[in-house]
Amino acid sequence: MFEERSTEKLVVPNESCAPAEQKNPEEEVKKEILKKYRSLLRAAQAVIKTKEDKLRIKKAFELALAAHKDMRRKSGEPYIFHPIAVAEICLKELNLGVTSVVCALLHDTVEDTDISLEDIGNMFGTEVMNIIDGLTKIEGFVDNTESMQAENFRKILLTLSNDVRVILIKLADRLHNMRTLDHMKREKQLKIANETLYLYAPLAHRLGLYRMKTEMEDLALKYTDPEMYQDIVAKLKKSEEVRNRFINTFIQPIKKRLTEQGFSFEIKGRTKSLYSIYNKIKNKGVPFEEIYDIFAIRIIIDSDPEHEKSDCWRVYSCVTDFYQPKPDRLRDWISFPKSNGYESLHTTVMSPTGKWVEVQIRSRRMDEIAERGYAAHWKYKESSIETNIDEWLRKVRAILENADQSAVDFVESFKVDLVTEEIFVFTPKGELKNLVAGSTALDFAYEIHSDIGDHCLGAKVNGRLVPISHVLQSGDQVEIITSSKQKPKEDWLQFVKTSRARNKIRQALKEEKRQLAELGKEQFERKLRHLGLTFSEADVPKIQKFFQVSNIQDFYYKVATDVITNNDIRRFYKEETSGSWYSYLARRLKRRIEKSKPETPPLSELVKKTNRSEDSLIIGDDVTNLDYKLATCCNPIPGDEVFGFVTVNEGIKIHKTTCPNANTLMSNYAYRIIKARWTSREAIAFQAGIVIKGFDDVGIVNRITRIVSNQLKVNMKSINFDTHEGLFEGRMMVFVHDTKHLEDLMEKLRGVSGVISVERLN
């Protein structure tokens, strides 16, 4: 190891001097930069093996410092603080080496400064240059049919094909950006937070980086739904003391028994992440007070690899000696590790106070892998983590190498494999295969081999004949039935779940279309010879416009499949040569030619000004007379925090920032997002939904409707009540003026005797 204090001189710009008795701001900044650099070097001591390693880090730091010398972050601090922080995350949280530290320090230089990739290559070599290239965003013009952000996502994901360090450094970069998001404008906060939830947190999860994934999600929630975030934080803080007392009481008998059994162990309580609690409240309608797994007990044992599996089961036996387990909540990730290497034994047991408690049992090795995932990969070379992660990366590379769909489709397809839970199925010979939950027999066929998938006719699941669309369950044994006459069909894309299957089907369909297009070209040329006509490249634009096809191959394909007939071709040349083919186009659109997707007009044409009678919504910075529609997916009303999305055919649609679709829209179509906010308006009614739950008491419906109609004078559009075993759930659609009007109504309803909860229906 080499200590930072050496004879080498660190070059820092602005070497100006000042009187000793005065504080020079530039000197103070320089001291702070040096302080952070020394902190980085201390963190790097574990990976610095030679003097050359240390010189590479110093060289990268000085280049980044010089390149970013005049740049400041939104917080006002020197920009160099950011690459130093990213490099520290790579070291402390991801266990990466010297090359990754160098790349982290330089990751923004090509994108934000005058330094080129060639400069990086000349100074640091090809390996560093390629990683920096992967970290550099795509620049340039993208029209409204494309998504620059999706293209950047695709570029990042494609680096999995050669160097996973690009992904890891990018995750470190995103984590630091999330930690410092307070200083950004509100619309920028929403965009970055939604991107993080959409891709980066799922990617961290898939690589087993649970600690990073959890922090990203919690920070994103802070900006996407700040009210709920603060509410959950407050409730967790309020219940912390009671929770800690409960945990201490719960673990006492377990600690005593494990000590008697001779285990070396650690027991700690783990509170459920803010985002996980939020999802339970939002998606399952469970109030905070009723979430039984708000915390879990984690038992970590010191055990050698040969005995850790049996030792974990011995610990399980000790736990269940005191507490009754819930049979359907046993999760054995030790016998069947997740594909990202996660290993742990989970059980849920009943405490003496009548509360369910999740207990996680794992070895020290398993715990480190569970927390740091891929980052712990090389520390345990002989463990199953290597096999599992390498196997997943092999699948990913196969998908990425053949992916040819649009950037948005590509990212959406890949994301399925990131966020979906896993199932385990067996081949007829007992070989275990991991698939995403919801996979079908056809997905399994493509998992075995692309040829088997292409010719899959059906399957036998546990000895029973099923169709290729049959959804598999964990533990199924699957045998694929094939036929040489079978071939991929367009409707297969409707039910396959995995990106591998979807890409293989698309490739096969594309190849079939290419072959038919070749045949169609021969037919077209033969027809022209028969008519005594000739074809030239100058005819291509006219053909595309006349037949409404995006390219000449689509034209040939439609000729081969008889969508475009000989009479259509004759009519084209007749109309074209007579000069009236443009007028024929309007009639042609109503005929049976398959219409391709219309071109997207520019945003300036999509957004048309109109004289709205209500001056209620400001779109952009100060424009109030733009036409808009309220999105039906989230039904925003005045008072909700909203944004505008420019659609292709329906102008501007207004969504709530907490809309279920906000995540996807802000991530893939950020260039079509525009600011929007409510202003004061006249009393105009907006539709909103309310869900009421309570005890099925005589007169309860009458008491509720009396408050709605008589006390608050709220008009109801519809009302529906269902009862079951003494409880009721009612749904009302009402007309309110704004969120305050709605909240007043909900607060009144909460005070009705017999009502348990009142929530807004999203």
| pLDDT tens column, 272-310 | 899 999 988 888 777 887 787 788 899 999 998 889 999
Catalytic residue among 111, 522, 614, 650: 111
The top-scoring range by mean pLDDT among 94-108, 198-212, 566-580, 617-631 is 94-108
| Residue 594 pLDDT grade (very low, low, confident, very high; cuts 50, 70, 90) | very low
Q: Is 270 helix (H, G, I), strand (E, B) or coil?
A: strand
pLDDT at residue 585, rounded to an integer: 39
Predicted local distance difference test score (pLDDT) of residue 214: 92
Please give the model's pTM, rounded to 2 decimal places.
0.67
The stretch 469-494 carries a mean pLDDT of 90
Report whether pLDDT(375) > 80.
Answer: no
User: Which pLDDT does position 352 carry in this prediction?
Assistant: 86
Tell me the pLDDT of the chain averaged across its residues.
79
On the 0-12 / 13-18 / 19+ scale of CB atoms within 10 A, 409 is middle
Instruction: Answer yes or no: 112 catalytic.
Output: yes
Strand partners, 267: 299
The arithmetic mean of pLDDT across residues 578-601, rounded, is 42
How many Cα atoms are found within 13 Å in the side-chain-facing hemisphere of 522?
5
Give residue 558's identity as a one-letter amino acid code: K
Residue, of 339 and 381, whose pLDDT is higher: 339
The strands making up 755-761's β-sheet, listed across from edge to edge, are 715-724, 727-736, 686-695, 755-761
Residue with structure tokens 């109503």?
Answer: 590
- 140 has a pLDDT exceeding 60: no
What are the start-end ranges of the E strands in 277-430? 295-301, 324-325, 331-332, 345-350, 356-363, 422-426
What's the rounded mean pLDDT across residues 636-641? 81
Q: Is the pLDDT of residue 457 over 60?
A: yes
Q: What distance in Å separates the CA atoms of residue 740 and residue 497, rounded to the nearest whole number?
A: 43
Give percent of the chain with pLDDT exceeding 70. 78
Q: Output the six-digit token pair for 617.
A: 């919504």
> Sorting pLDDT into bands at 50, 70 and 90, what band is 711?
low
For the chain, what percent of residues have pLDDT higher than 90? 25
* Helix or strand run (H / E) with residue 99: helix 98-106
Mean of pLDDT values over 15-26: 57
pLDDT score, position 280: 87
pLDDT, tens digit, for every residue of 142-155? 444 455 666 777 76
pLDDT band at 418, cuts 50/70/90?
A: low
pLDDT score of 757 more than 50? yes
Q: Is the pLDDT of residue 179 over 60?
A: yes
**Beta pairing, strands 686-695 & 727-736:** antiparallel
Would you state the pLDDT for residue 70? Answer: 83
481: three-class secondary structure by DSSP: strand
Q: Is 146 a catalytic residue?
A: no
Q: How far apart are CA 220 and CA 44, in angstroms?
A: 29
* 23-37, 91-105, 531-545, 572-586: range with lowest mean pLDDT: 572-586
Q: For the chain, how are helix, strand and coil distributed in percent, rounded to 5?
A: 50, 15, 35
User: pLDDT class for 727, splitting at 50, 70, 90?
Assistant: confident
- Among residues 4, 32, 77, 112, which one is catalytic? 112
pLDDT(339) > 60? yes
pLDDT of residue 550: 77
Q: What local confidence, expressed as pLDDT, does residue 440 receive?
A: 93
| pLDDT value for 500 | 83
Looking at residue 386, what is its pLDDT? 45
Tell me which DSSP letter residue 562 carries.
T
Which domains, from first to last, does the chain contain?
25-224 (1.10.3210.10), 230-380 (3.30.460.10), 387-498 (3.10.20.30), 507-588 (no CATH), 603-678 (no CATH), 686-761 (3.30.70.260)
Instruction: Pick 600 or 224 by higher pLDDT.
Output: 224
- Look at residue 234 in the predicted model and tell me its pLDDT: 93
* pLDDT value at 72 more than 50: yes
3 state SS of 266: strand
- Which residues are within 8 A (CB) of 665 and not within 5 positions of it... i.e. 6 or more apart? 194, 645, 655, 659, 672, 673
Q: Identify which of 247-256, 381-390, 423-432 has the greatest average pLDDT.
A: 247-256
pLDDT of residue 603: 45
pLDDT at 130 over 70: yes
